[in-house]
Structure 1
């Protein structure tokens, strides 16, 4: 067993591309049959390279600012059952949670666009639930709409539709969505 430390000059990487970075570091090497036991133990990304990624604003402060909630924990939940509800009943569950005092709700990662609840219908009913709960409580409410899709184009289409509805928060499954979707 051996440990090798490898350093690459930044000029070898496309700015802002996680896909290129991992392809360059592990893509070809992990394909060699002679290196079946090879593992990547650690990866350190220099701040100069990290700054080339133009990701969305994130973190607890952004969440607090969007919801106008400070000085206390944010309260939220994932809607259950995660699968099987119609879009209308799903929206009702969102409304009841938000009206009952939660700050936000979220889709489960499995909730995409199944035959019993298409994404567009879910987005519409959830937006309606948010606005109704806000009107009744006088508080800003949120729901994380899952925009995960089979292609980056479809994911972006869903996110744009959410924005058009006035829903400021979307989510996507970063693990299964892939590196390119994460930075799109």
Structure 2
């Protein structure tokens, strides 16, 4: 039978072999004590197996509290691999996650545990469609080739009326923007009902497309209860929209997959709440594992933070996240990494140097909206930055060559 492997980074005051065995037992056929019915035949078929233990260092202070350790105990760290037969959960994503994570974070044998990666069997590629649009479909829909998609977020995040939002989208479309999205805080506020916002914005986008042939991709935030999301999804399709946004951590795997399964709109996966899952170095889940789950659900675009971002995540972590998205998984489409968080054109140079890819959605909020020449100058400046980066120019050389980008450097360069 095919098996799924979970790769973990752990910390424990117990012998590593004992702690790993507890993990495998708790998350499969065992519990804290032997029980009737747990036969050797049953364990052979359904018990998890510890496949590999790689000891690392030991420390004096636990990463998180809660272990029943003796005074003066050492806390041992290791990478371990545990496998499960797919007979345990089949192709049920919520039960898969309950198995790979679930109660693990509450087991007293661990003072640290993070799911680092997942190895999935070939049959998962046959069962799950994955992203229907991904990089190829997203860029084709927006008419972008040879460069990243340039995008922005409606700011202020909440409070604008549909009419004011649509006027801003008109300015951005005329400036050459590829992508605009609702903020995750905006779905259907008191002064901006979802349908009213869709009507106002799509009139602008469709009119611009009729004139120019370029249809700006707008990610409308339809996050909510499943029935509401499906109703809003249908409304978007009828309005001629090309994209919907889902706050994936809030909506969950099943709700997100239901939206993705409709198959007519590009799904922009916003990972707000990510820090809660990842910020502690010995708790939660790492992005290589995380993105595989959402690819199975069918998300087409996935946030990865950005170089020199305004949040806590390191540049190395961002680069690893971009690489994880771009790494093929089975034979389906590859999700488009969404670079955002305090971005302006200045980070394009290091982003290019460290990833050498233009298969990105490069998003700037203030970096576009607060440009000295307004949103129009902001869009042009980002396009210039990426053109210069790909040509091999330094930031200083691009500043000399591109006037709009030079104004960005003057405005944002000291940040």
Calculate the TM-score normalised by the size of structure 2.
0.41
- For the residue of structure 2 that corresponds to 1:123, the secondary structure is helix
**CA-based RMSD:** 2.0
2:149 aligned with 1:87: no
- In structure 1, distance between residues paired with 2:213 and 2:101: 51
- CA deviation after TM superposition for structure 1 residue 22, in Å: 0.8
The C-alpha deviation readout for 1:62-96, integer Å capped at 9, x for no partner, is: 11221232233322211111211111111111121
**Structure 1: stretches of 5+ with no match in the other structure:** none
Shift of 1:100: 1.8
Partner of 1:7: 83
The alpha-carbon distance between structure 1 residues 105 and 135, as it changes in their structure 2 partners (threshold 3 A), is same
Q: Is the 8 A contact 1:75 1:104 kept in 2?
A: yes
- Which residue in 2 is equivalent to 1:157? 231
CA distance in 1, matches of 2:244, 2:162: 17
Aligned to 2:183: 108
Which gives a bigger RCO, structure 1 or 2 (Cα 8 Å, sep 6+)?
1
Kindly indicate which of the two structures has a greater share of residues assigned to strand: 2
Q: How many residues matched?
A: 181
Would you say 1:48 and 2:109 are equivalent positions? Answer: no
Are the aligned partners of 2:101 and 2:115 in contact in 1 as well (CA < 8 Å)?
no
1:174 CA drift (Å):
1.1
**Per-residue CA shift, 1:10-50, capped at 9, x if unaligned?**
121231x3211111222244455x34635233231314254
Where does residue 143 of structure 1 map in the other structure?
218
Once residues 57 and 130 of structure 1 are traced to their aligned partners in structure 2, the CA distance between those partners, rounded to angstroms, is 23
Q: Which residue of 2 aligns with 1:23?
A: 98
State TM-score, norm by structure 1.
0.86
Unaligned runs of 5+ in 2: 1-11, 17-77, 259-415
For 2:148 and 2:95, how far apart are their aligned partners in 1?
38
CA distance in 2, matches of 1:130, 1:175: 29
Q: CA deviation at 1:147?
A: 1.1
Residues 95 and 132 in structure 1, CA contact (< 8 A), matched pair in contact too: no
- Kindly provide the CA deviation profile for residues 91-142 of structure 1, in whole angstroms up to 9, marking residues without a partner as x: 1111211122112211111111111111111111111111122233332222
